[in-house]
Each structure stands twice: as structure tokens, then as C-alpha cells.
């Protein structure tokens, strides 16, 4: 069971959250200007690291805000204090 | 010493108290070079090696496994084998796999204990019913066995199923594929491994690949924990580690690694002789030959390489199983475990050449690749031997994500949790 420290609500169990995936996938500003490779890179390809991973979590049963969490995918340890996604500059 | 398994061999070895059976495969030192190196000694890697030797006469092959063969998802899965797919590309591929399963024990001279006990998928809403019936009708158009069941027929097949109208998700009916079933997971790795070894393939355990050696853009070998080994064809079959091997080849893949858990109860007398699945409860249940109730469900839901699952998911899956079969409430769980599944963004697998010449990719099996083991090896061996896709797997290309030809069984958007 993960315990995620929400900046608004404090430490909460993982089942209050919804995983939102890789936070480093940034939607191209002008999709129409992308070639197929660039669009595929955004839409489908992932680094999928074994190690620290920046990811989005939605606090569904709490403040209903998006968080940006840095978590090690080998140990599940959260390696930096989670931030609100908007404060972290995440999309 | 005869290497085949047979009744005669059993009787002969009985005379010596079964103490001098030969090892099922050799433990060779790696050679300096091979024609083909396969990374990953799970079912898929071993099946690929076997069919390279058997169907294509390519025997100068090594399977490199970082741990012991069959210790990955092959050993962790719930062994459901079925071909209830709808999409072109998947339907005929998985049906070919079921057909290979039907003759596999004889072909490998190893009992993989394939048991075609049938699989029932329950539906609980009219929308679910429409989509299952549509899928099973299209299976019949593809020549695959499929039938729709009413609750009375289901009650006869699964007397312990809760069919009362007062449940959380009352059962409306179900679909059945009678040729679906289960097999013995270890036997699949051991059977393919032994049969490949007998044809000259080197199975090298405790040998992790740490790098892909390239020269002028093409593959010439691999770095391993047991030194550099050369080959002009390197083929990856590493399931949840596909992105790691891909990275070594300079590729960024449309894959995320996720955890999938399963669990078994204490063993009880036989009471369930089909595989039972329910989408609404997100759970599936079967009973092993040892009597344990084997239960699986959904992904844990976040990227992981830990092979260690989370307890809330176990609780949710167990609750679903108990809702279907209320008598399970009184059983104790004995073990639970997790495997590292390679989830693609359309829910279908990849059997493909790559932009790196000489590097071949077999992966993205999501949580359903055990059933594919024979057909996956069959088609991947064809691709490696001929540098052209097998007709049954020509849609499973890596570049389908760029060209827009995804095989999206569920019809949902790009997400790594589809199947
Ligand atoms: C809980 C669970 C339930 C499942 N249930 C089903 C089911 O009911 N039906 C079904 O069809 N499928 C099911 N699956 C999926 C199925 O198990 C897999 O898709 C399938 O077994 C994959 O086989 P494989 O040979 O590709 O992978 P694996 O058996 O995982 O083999 C990959 C091998 O590669 C090795 N490896 C990794 N990295 C390296 C490296 N760098 N160097 C050398 N070796 C390396 C690993 O050690 C491993 O042995 C389930 C999976 C799980 C986890
Ligand atoms: Zn919160």
C-alpha cells in the first residue's frame, strides 16, 4: 500500500488516488504541425524507467487535485515530496 | 541413454528407482558467437528457439536468461488459454495458438497438461451482453468455437455461482469457449526448453544481457554478465523488461511495465471445472489440479518493476471472487504474487523487426501472453529466419503505432491497461 503525502490533504492511502501516468509526456503545442514520429512519441512511446519516475496522480477521494509524484518503480518509494501538478509546472 | 519420455522409459527407470534420469537439458558454457541470440528464457523465448530449430533448421542458437528459465511471467501467470478475440490480426493468431496447444504435449514429448475445460465470461448488463455476443458471433464467422449461454445452462455448469437477482452485479448470462482451458505453466518452459536443447539450442541461465552491441547501426552481439557474445540476429523476449532491452538498442517503445497479481486459496475438493470470468467484478477464477482456487484480476495500476503487488488490490479481487462464488468466503488465501507485464498502448502484442537492423522484438503481451506462447514462438521464429513477418502476425508490427494501424480489441484510446 502506497502512502502518498498530498500537499493539500496530508498522507493518504493509494486507493484514494487514480494513477495518471507519465508526467513527462507533454502534449505538443500544435499537434497539426507534428510529423507522425513526433506525434507517436507523445501519444504512445514512454521511457518506462526502472528507477525514479515522474508521474501524475489524481486525488479522487480527497481534494480532487492532480499531483506530480516522483516514485521509484523498483521499490515504490516516493523519492521527493509530491507537489500539486500546477505548482510543479506539469500539464 | 534414451532421452524420450515414454511408458517404456518409465518402466526401465523404475528398475533403477528413478535415480538415473538424464538431465532434461544441458548447462553449456556460452560460445563466442551464434547465428541467433534470444534474450529471455520464458515460454516465448524458448518456443522461439524451438521453432527456429524445428521449422527453419536454425540450431546455432542461444537463449540467454538472467535467472532460471520460466521464472518470469511464465511461472507467475494463471494459465488461461483461449482464442476469443475479435479483431483481424488477433483472431486467427490466437486460434493458431490454441491449435498448437492441442498437439503440444505430443510434439514436445512433454506433458504440458493442457486441459480444455472451457471458459465462461459472464455478463451482468445488457450493454455487456451485446458486446460479448457480438464478439462471439464474429468468432464463429472466423471459424472459432463460441456459444452464448443462458443462466440455466450456466447454473448447470457452475452450481456454486451466485445467480440470485439480488447480488451486487446480477448475472444475465454468459459466453463460453469450450476449447479454452488451462495448462501447467512450468511444463511449458521445461517442455520447450528440453525440446530446443535436444535440437542443439544452448540454454544459458544466470546470464543477464546488459548491452546490445551495434556496428554501423546494425546489431553484432550482446554484452552479458558472462561476457560479450556475438550474433548478427538478436531477438528480445523479455516481457516486462522490454523497455530496458529496447533502450539498450536505442529504442523508445510504446510500452509501460505494470504489476499483475494472482493468488491461490488452500486446496479443496474439486468443485469448479471451468474457468470463470466476470468483467463487472474484474475477476476470474479457476481451480487447479491440486485443488487450489486460483484467482486473478486487474492490474495494480501504476508503473512498476518491483514484482511485488499491493494489498488493496488483493482485497478487491478476492471480494469479486467471493461475490461470484459465495462459498469461497470461507477459504483462506495461501499465497499471492505479482508479475511484471509489458502493457502496450493498444492492448495487442508486438512481433516485429525494428529500426535497428538485426534486432527483433517480441513483447507487449500485456496480461495475456501465456496462451500465445506456441504461436508467438512460431511466428517470431519465422520472422527471424526469413526477415519477413509470418502471415498470422503481420499486423503485430512495431510501426503500427506510427502508421495508425493499431489493433485495439477494446476500442478505447491509447492507454497501457487495455488487456
Ligand atoms: C499474475 C499474472 C497472470 C497472468 N495470467 C495469464 C493468463 O491467464 N493467460 C495468459 O495467456 N497470460 C497470462 N499472463 C501473461 C503471461 O504470463 C505473459 O504474457 C507470458 O508469460 C509472457 O511470456 P514471456 O516468455 O514473454 O515472458 P517471461 O516468462 O516473463 O520471460 C521473460 C524472461 O526474460 C528474462 N529477462 C529479462 N530481462 C533480461 C535480461 N536483461 N537478460 C536476460 N534475460 C532477461 C526474465 O528473467 C524472464 O525469465 C499473466 C501474467 C501475470 C503476471
Ligand atoms: Zn488531496
User: According to the model, what pLDDT value does residue B251 have?
Assistant: 97
The domain that holds A63 is classified in CATH as: 3.30.2270.10
Q: Which grid cell is B24?
A: 532434461
How many structural domains are present in chain B? Answer: 1
Comparison of pLDDT for B414 and A77, the residue scoring more: A77
User: According to the model, what pLDDT value does residue A89 have?
Assistant: 73
User: According to the model, what pLDDT value does residue B418 have?
Assistant: 54
**Ligand 1: residue whose CA is nearest its atom 21:** B74
How many structural domains are present in chain A? Answer: 1
Q: How much distance in Å is there from the Cα of A61 to the middle of ligand 2?
A: 8
User: According to the model, what pLDDT value does residue B2 have?
Assistant: 44
B250–A contact, CB cutoff 8 A: no
Given ligand 1 and candidates B73, B177, B225, which is best to mutate, with the most ligand atoms within 8 Å of its CB? B73
Q: How far, in whole angstroms, is CA B256 from its chain's centroid?
A: 17
CB-proximal residues (5 Å) to ion ligand 2? A 6, 8-9, 59, 62-63
Closest C-alpha to A45, from B317, B254, B219, B301:
B254
In a domain, A31, yes or no: no
Span B84-138, pLDDT tens digits: 999 889 999 999 999 999 999 999 999 999 999 999 999 999 999 999 999 999 9
With beta carbons less than 8 A apart as the criterion, state whether A47 and A62 touch.
no
- The parent domain of residue B331 ranges over 115-181+256-342
* Residue B319 neighbours by CB distance under 10 Å: 14
What percentage of chain A reaches a pLDDT higher than 70? 98
Q: How far, in whole angstroms, is CA A46 from its chain's centroid?
A: 13
**Ligand 1: residue whose CA is nearest its atom 49:** B72
In a domain, B221, yes or no: no
Chain position carrying cell 560460445: B31
Q: Is B243 in the pocket of ligand 1 (CB under 6 A)?
A: no
Contact A40 B414 (CB under 8 A): no
User: So what's the ipTM on this one?
Assistant: 0.95
Q: How much distance in Å is there from the Cα of A68 to the middle of ligand 2?
A: 12
In a domain, B250, yes or no: no
- The parent domain of residue A89 ranges over 1-19+51-91
Cα gap B264→B314, rounded to integer Å: 11
* Ligand approaching nearest to the C-alpha of A7: 2
In a domain, A91, yes or no: yes
As a 3-state breakdown, chain B gives helix, strand, coil percent values, each rounded to 5, of 30, 25, 45
In a domain, B138, yes or no: yes
Closest C-alpha to B361, from B206, B243, B202:
B243
* Ligand approaching nearest to the C-alpha of A8: 2
The domain that holds B300 is classified in CATH as: 3.30.9.10
In a domain, B130, yes or no: yes
Partner residue opposite A43 with nearest CB, options B241, B302, B414: B414
Q: How far, in whole angstroms, is CA B1 from its chain's centroid?
A: 33
Return the bridge partners of B285, or none.
Answer: B276, B295
User: According to the model, what pLDDT value does residue B291 have?
Assistant: 97
Q: How much distance in Å is there from the Cα of B150 to the middle of ligand 2?
A: 45
Q: Is B238 in the pocket of ligand 1 (CB under 6 A)?
A: yes
Span B356-394, pLDDT tens digits: 999 999 999 999 999 999 999 999 999 999 999 999 999
Question: Which residues in A have their CB inside 8 Å of a CB on B?
Answer: 1-2, 13-15, 19, 21-22, 36-37, 40-41, 43-50, 53, 55, 71, 73-76
In a domain, A39, yes or no: no
Which 279-308 residues of chain B touch chain A by CB within 8 A?
301-306, 308
Q: What is the pLDDT along chain B (419 residues), one digit of tens a residue?
A: 447 899 999 999 999 999 999 999 999 999 999 999 999 999 999 999 999 999 999 999 999 999 999 999 999 999 999 999 998 899 999 999 999 999 999 999 999 999 999 999 999 999 999 999 999 999 999 999 999 999 999 999 999 999 999 888 999 999 999 999 999 999 999 999 999 999 999 999 999 999 999 999 999 999 999 999 999 999 999 999 999 999 999 999 999 999 999 999 999 999 999 999 999 999 999 999 999 999 999 999 999 999 999 999 999 999 999 999 999 999 999 999 999 999 999 999 999 999 999 999 999 999 999 999 999 999 999 999 999 999 999 999 999 999 999 998 876 667 766 54
The packing angle between helices B90-102 and B373-386, to 10°, is 110
With beta carbons less than 8 A apart as the criterion, state whether B97 and B375 touch.
yes
Q: How much distance in Å is there from the Cα of B367 to the middle of ligand 1?
A: 9
User: According to the model, what pLDDT value does residue B1 have?
Assistant: 40
In a domain, B148, yes or no: yes
In a domain, A82, yes or no: yes
pTM above 0.90, yes or no: yes
In a domain, B233, yes or no: no
Whats the size of chain A, residue-wise? Answer: 91
Inter-chain contacts counted by CB atoms under 8 A, chains A and B: 68
Amino acid at each position: 500500500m502506497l502512502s502518498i503525502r498530498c500537499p493539500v490533504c496530508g498522507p493518504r492511502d493509494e486507493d484514494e488516488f487514480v494513477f495518471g501516468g507519465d508526467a513527462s509526456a507533454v502534449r505538443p503545442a500544435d499537434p497539426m504541425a507534428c510529423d507522425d514520429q513526433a506525434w507517436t512519441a507523445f501519444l504512445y512511446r514512454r521511457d518506462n524507467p526502472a528507477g525514479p519516475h515522474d508521474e501524475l496522480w489524481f486525488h479522487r477521494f480527497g481534494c480532487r487535485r492532480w499531483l506530480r509524484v516522483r516514485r521509484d518503480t523498483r521499490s515504490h518509494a516516493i523519492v521527493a515530496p509530491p507537489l500539486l501538478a500546477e505548482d510543479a509546472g506539469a500539464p | 541413454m534414451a532421452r524420450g519420455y515414454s511408458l517404456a522409459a518409465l518402466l526401465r527407470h523404475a528398475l533403477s528407482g528413478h535415480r538415473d534420469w538424464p538431465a532434461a537439458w544441458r548447462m553449456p558454457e556460452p560460445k563466442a558467437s551464434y547465428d541467433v541470440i534470444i534474450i529471455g528464457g520464458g515460454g516465448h523465448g524458448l518456443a522461439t528457439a524451438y521453432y527456429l530449430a524445428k521449422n527453419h533448421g536454425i540450431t546455432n542458437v542461444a537463449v540467454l536468461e538472467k535467472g532460471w528459465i520460466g521464472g518470469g511471467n511464465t511461472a507467475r501467470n494463471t494459465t488461461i488459454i483461449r482464442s476469443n478475440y475479435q479483431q483481424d490480426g488477433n483472431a486467427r493468431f490466437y486460434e493458431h495458438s490454441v491449435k498448437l496447444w492441442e498437439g503440444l504435449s505430443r510434439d514436445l514429448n512433454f506433458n504440458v497438461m493442457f486441459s480444455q475445460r472451457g471458459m465462461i465470461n459472464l455478463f451482468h448488463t445488457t450493454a455487456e451482453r451485446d458486446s460479448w455476443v457480438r464478439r462471439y458471433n464474429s468468432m464463429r464467422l472466423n471459424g472459432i468455437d463460441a456459444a452464448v449461454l443462458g443462466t440455466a445452462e450456466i447454473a448447470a455448469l457452475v452450481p456454486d455461482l451466485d445467480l440470485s437477482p439480488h447480488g451486487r452485479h446480477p448475472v444475465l448470462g454468459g459466453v463460453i469457449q469450450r476449447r479454452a482451458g488451462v495448462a501447467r505453466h512450468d511444463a511449458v518452459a521445461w517442455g520447450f526448453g528440453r525440446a530446443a536443447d535436444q535440437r542443439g539450442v544452448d540454454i544459458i541461465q544466470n546470464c543477464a544481457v546488459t548491452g546490445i552491441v551495434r556496428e554501423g547501426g546494425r546489431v553484432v552481439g550482446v554484452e552479458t554478465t558472462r561476457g560479450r557474445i556475438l550474433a548478427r540476429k538478436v531477438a528480445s523476449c523479455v516481457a516486462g523488461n522490454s523497455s530496458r532491452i529496447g533502450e539498450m538498442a536505442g529504442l523508445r517503445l510504446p510500452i509501460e511495465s505494470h504489476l499483475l497479481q494472482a493468488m491461490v486459496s488452500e486446496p479443496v475438493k474439486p468443485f469448479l471445472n471451468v474457468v470463470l470470468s466476470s468483467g463487472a467484478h474484474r475477476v476470474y477464477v479457476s481451480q487447479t489440479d491440486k485443488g487450489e482456487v486460483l484467482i486473478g484480476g486487474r492490474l495494480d495500476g501504476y508503473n512498476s518493476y518491483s514484482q511485488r503487488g499491493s494489498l488493496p488490490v488483493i482485497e478487491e479481487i478476492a471480494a469479486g471472487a467471493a461475490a461470484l462464488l459465495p462459498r469461497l468466503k470461507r477459504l483462506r488465501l495461501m499465497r499471492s504474487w505479482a508479475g511484471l507485464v509489458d502493457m502496450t498502448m493498444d492492448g495487442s502484442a508486438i512481433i516485429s523487426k525494428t529500426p535497428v537492423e538485426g534486432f527483433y522484438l517480441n513483447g507487449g503481451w500485456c496480461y495475456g501472453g501465456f496462451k500465445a506462447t506456441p504461436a508467438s514462438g512460431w511466428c517470431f521464429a519465422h520472422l527471424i529466419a526469413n526477415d519477413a513477418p509470418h502471415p498470422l502476425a503481420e499486423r503485430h508490427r512495431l510501426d503500427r503505432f506510427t502508421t495508425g494501424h493499431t489493433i485495439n480489441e477494446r476500442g478505447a484510446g491509447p492507454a497501457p491497461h487495455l488487456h
